[in-house]
Amino acid sequence: MVMSNFHLAQVNIARLIEPLDSERLADFVAALDPVNAAADAAPGFVWRLRTEDGNATALSAFDWDRDGSVGVLTNMSVWESLEALKDFVYGPKHREIISGFSEPRSR
């Protein structure tokens, strides 16, 4: 591995379709701890944004939000390289945990 003087930060920002405690998001919420644990243990992982208790969903990054929205979920992590992030995101463990959570956008 080539040594570098930088890390890669990635940020996901998602507008929630329902509150985190809703039945519709129950499977997604249940997958958060396993996917975060998998990231924390992945080669090249450096750090992720979370509270002292380890809860990233308790953080409120944005006071702006559209009327009628149930909130915004923010995820940020830091990786040693693009390759390390790519290996985790497209690797079998992450893909297994998150499969089935994507929903088409309605317009």
Question: Which tokens belong to 92?
Answer: 């079998």
| Residue 73 reports pLDDT greater than 90 | no
Classify the phi-psi angles of 100: left when phi > 0, otherwise alpha if psi is within -120 to 50, otherwise beta. left
Mean pLDDT of 6-20: 90
pTM, entire model: 0.81
Q: Where are the chain's structural domains?
A: 8-98
Average pLDDT of span 23-30 = 89
**Fold topology of 8-98:** Alpha-Beta Plaits (3.30.70)
Is the per-residue pLDDT at 34 higher than 50? yes
